[in-house]
Structure 1
Amino acid sequence: MQNRITELFDIQYPIIQGGMIWASGWRLASAVSNAGGLGIIGAGSMYPEVLREHILKCQNATDKPFAVNIPMLYPDLEQLMNIIVELGVKIVFTSAGNPKTWTSFFKEKGITVVHVVSSVKFALKAQEAGVDAIVAEGFEAGGHNGRDETTTLTLIPSVKEKISIPVIAAGGIATGSAMLAVMVLGADGVQVGSRFVASTEASSHQAFKEKVVEIGEGDTHLTLKELAPVRLIKNTFYEEVQRTYADGATKDDLVALLGRARAKRGMFEGDMEAGELEIGQVSSLIHDIKPAKIIVEDMVREFEAAKERVRTI
């Protein structure tokens, strides 16, 4: 399954694990990389020395390529970037910020740079900044999302029409069939988040993994656009957000309600009611918790089977 993405990252399959807050530690990243995809350490939830520990452990657990995802809205950003360079990480995914800020810093050091976008406008800006590829993430995705609510089905061909660098599709992809669909639309690879949350190696709390498997269609909603749009499971905290909106919430009201470490409380510590639970719409299609290796193998098998089905149409 060789194409521009497998060649760019030197991996077997064009399957990239999402760099998810509180879920994407070294165990998950190394497991996905060992299975032939590209594992990603999600640095959004990590202090500098914690990131250092995860990179070193990942390097010990795999001799395959892996990446680090850096959302550019967290403190200690310069320390995180310097640790990545110091420890010889070869691939960096940036998100939630201007790609011009750090792309040249990494490129000068021979590091491959990928930027996450949610629109054609930002895809063009990322290409202009010199990134090697972009992740085009649709409205279906979990975690922090774009404000335009453009679905993956629309976003991928729109981005592909305008840029020349490789495109990785994200948002609503948990099966090999979905992988084939977005590649037909022009994607060179896929980034998979929610399906890997429900993996044995994900660092998220077991209660959160079980909640992901349990929820159905319509059990998530994109909200908190005034802060940073995020797709949440509907729980007690979500209902509090909705009541705050109904009472005429200001941005300050929402900040006060969110408080500190709300996502950690839910996804990492396991508070399924008062915690912030970020997951994608595709969670309604996830019915079990399994090793990352099996998830990758299942996707590849489903992808090949879907190609065979298409030939009979």
Structure 2
Amino acid sequence: MPNKITELFEIEYPIVQAGMIWASGWRLASAVSNAGGLGVLGAGSMYPEVLREHIYKCQKATDKPFGVNVPMLYPDIDRLMDIIMEMGVKIVFTSAGNPKTWTSVLQEKGIKVVHVVSSVKFALKAQEAGVDAIVAEGFEAGGHNGRDETTTLALIPAVKEQIEIPLIAAGGIATGRAMLAAMILGADGVQVGTRFVASNEASSHELFKRSVVEAGEGATHLTLKELAPVRLIKNKFYNDVQEAYAQGASVEQLKSLLGRGRAKLGMFEGNMEEGELEIGQVSAIIHDIKPAADIVADLMSEFNLAKKEAANL
């Protein structure tokens, strides 16, 4: 299925697996790449030497392209980027920061750079910074999110209207039908997160995976906007946050409640009550845990079927 994204990344299908914290290790990334998509390591939950290990293992597990997602607020970002360049990674996704900081540095090493945005304003800034492609992520997405709460349905055509570089849609995409819809709206490819959390290869705790497939409509909510907006499954920690809001908690009190390691506690260590459980709204239609290769195959099979059905409308 050749298009701008498959040609840019030298992959078979325009499907990018999101580089999610505590889920996107080398097993998941290599499995998605081997299946024809683009696997991405989530460096946001990795110390520098842990990232080095995952890059090494991913290179051993696949001869296909893969990338690394780097939140630019990471305290050791210089060390992460040095390791990425040293080990010959060819694709980097940046987020949560100014794309000008690293884009040219990485591109001088022959690395393709993609920046994640949640608005037209930041899409234009990323294009101006010279990135090779943009991920536009709607409000439906799990994890950290945009404050404007713009949905994918509204965001993709708005961004497409303003930019000239390849566009990847993210947020609420877990099926081939959603993939087709995003591409009809103007995307050249899709980034899929939540569906890949519920995979055999995701490094997340099994209890967290199970909570994803058991989540129903309305099970998630975007909160903590005063810190960094994040979409969470409603559990005891989420309820504690809402109680804090009801009592007029300050930003410092919210930071104290969040503490350190809250996401690891939930998503990686499996504490379903006290942990921060980041996942997207689309979890409501995910009902099973399966191999990543099957997820890629299902996406493409349903995409092709939906395309035929759409032609008859």
Q: Verify same fold: TM over 0.5.
A: yes
Q: Equivalent residues in 2 for 1:119-158 (5 A)?
A: 119-158=119-158
**What's 1:218 paired with?**
218
Which position in structure 1 is the counterpart of 2:285? 285
Matches within 5 A, 1:132-211: 132-211=132-211
- 2:12 aligns to what? 12
| Cα distance in 2, alignment partners of residues 206 and 160 from structure 1 | 38
Amino acid at match of 1:270: G
AA aligned to 2:224 is L
Aligned residue type for 2:246: A
Aligned residues: 313
Is residue 115 of structure 2 the alignment partner of residue 110 of structure 1?
no
Runs of 4+ in 1 over 6 A off after TM superposition: none
Q: Which residue of 1 aligns with 2:81?
A: 81
Query: Which residue identity does 1:148 align to in structure 2?
Result: D
- Counterpart of 1:22 in structure 2 is 22
| 1:61-72 alignment runs, 5 A limit | 61-72=61-72
Could you tell me how far apart the structure 1 residues matched to 2:113 and 2:171 are?
Answer: 20
C-alpha displacement of 1:247: 0.3
| Other structure's SS at 1:116 match | strand
> RMSD in angstroms over aligned alpha carbons?
0.4
1:286-305 → structure 2 map (5 Å cutoff): 286-305=286-305
Instruction: Give the Å deviation of 1:311.
Output: 1.4
Show the counterpart of 1:93: 93
Q: Residue 296 of structure 2 aligns to which amino acid in structure 1?
A: V
How far, CA to CA, are the matches of 1:87 and 1:76 in structure 2?
A: 17
Q: Percent identity?
A: 78
Q: Give the aligned residue type for 2:14.
A: P
Inter-partner Cα distance in structure 2 for 1:21 and 1:225:
19
Q: 2 CA distance for matches of 1:173 and 1:37?
A: 15
**Residues of 1 paired with 2:74 and 2:104: CA distance?**
20
Alpha-carbon distance between aligned partners in 2 of 1:25 and 1:100, rounded to the nearest angstrom: 27
Query: In the alignment, what sits opposite 1:234?
Result: 234
* Cα deviations by residue, 1:37-93 (Å, 9 ceiling, x for unpaired): 000000000000000000000000000000000001111110000000000000000
Name 2:246's counterpart in structure 1: 246
Once residues 126 and 236 of structure 2 are traced to their aligned partners in structure 1, the CA distance between those partners, rounded to angstroms, is 38
Asked if 1:268 is matched to 2:268, the reply is yes
Partner of residue 3, structure 1: 3
Residue aligning to 1:51: 51
Deviation at residue 249 of structure 1 after TM alignment = 1.1
Deviation at 1:309, TM superposition (A): 1.1
Distance in 1 separating the partners of 2:109 and 2:128: 19
State the alpha-carbon separation in 1 of the partners of residues 135 and 30 from structure 2. 21
Q: Which runs of 5+ in 1 are unaligned?
A: none
Amino acid corresponding to residue 83 of structure 1 in structure 2: I
